[in-house]
Amino acid sequence: MSIPLKLKIRLEFFLNNGLTHQEVVIMEKGKTESLLHIVLKLLAFLYFYKTQKRLIIEPSFRYRDFKPDLVSFKKPENPREVTSEVDIWIECKKVKISKLSTLVRYLPSASIYWFHLSQIITRKMKNEEVPPKVKLIGIEITKKDLALLESSILTQSPSWSVHRYEHSQFIIDTLHSEIHIKFQNIR
């Protein structure tokens, strides 16, 4: 039986101007949550790190019985009226198309993102109609590199150094590896 884990990871960003920025991210891995889901959430977080968006990982609120993996509000505090204040809603890994459709319908001013491995999103799109307003971000990573990121998360105090080259790709240095990540805007 798996148990929930509290994960704390140190992210060090090497910015283009030569400066570095450090951030500690704390998140919980639920009983049934896979390490892939955790990795995808962290990679989605990294995707937006250079923007001015303040992403909240695993927020405590629900909207229409849905809980985002990451969310950003138009104002920094938690809003009273979610419908008009959600700026970015992010889903990672498995998500039902009906959930995405509902989010698009009831959060018309929000940007809805779905992050998953590129080949899985592409396969899903062939079989189902994903709402056009949903931004699909495929992550291209080898199975070996994915396994290295997953094992890195389970170490006592993981630290990832992020070297960014452009918005669609970057390199993560872990304790033992250099991992290349590429984001593919599928739509």
What pLDDT does residue 53 have? 75
Which residues are registered as beta bridge partners of 161? 12, 173
Return the number of other C-beta atoms located less than 10 Å from residue 121's C-beta.
19
List, for residues 9-34, the tens digit of each pLDDT value. Answer: 999 988 767 778 888 998 888 888 89
What pLDDT does residue 1 have? 44
For the packed helices 143-153 and 35-47, what is the interaxial angle rounded to 10 degrees? 100
Which residues are registered as beta bridge partners of 10? 24, 159
Q: State the amino acid at position 133 in one-letter form.
A: K
DSSP string for 93-119: S---HHHHHHHHHH-TTSEEEEEEEHH
**What's the whole-number mean pLDDT along residues 131-152?**
94
List, for residues 160-184, the tens digit of each pLDDT value. Answer: 999 876 768 899 999 888 999 999 9
Please tell me the total count of domains within the chain: 1
What pLDDT does residue 60 have? 79
Output the six-digit token pair for 185: 């805007």
Q: State the amino acid at position 108 in one-letter form.
A: P
**What's the whole-number mean pLDDT along residues 151-167?**
83
Distance of CA 105 to the CA centre of its chain: 22
Helices (H), the chain: 35-47, 82-85, 97-106, 118-127, 143-153
31, burial (CB in 10 Å: exposed 0-12, middle 13-18, buried 19+): exposed
For residue 25, give the CATH number of its domain: 3.10.640.10
Please state, in angstroms and rounded to a whole number, the distance separating the CA atoms of residues 72 and 56: 6
List, for residues 53-65, the tens digit of each pLDDT value. Answer: 789 898 877 888 8
Q: Domain range spanning residue 52?
A: 5-185
pTM of the prediction?
Answer: 0.90
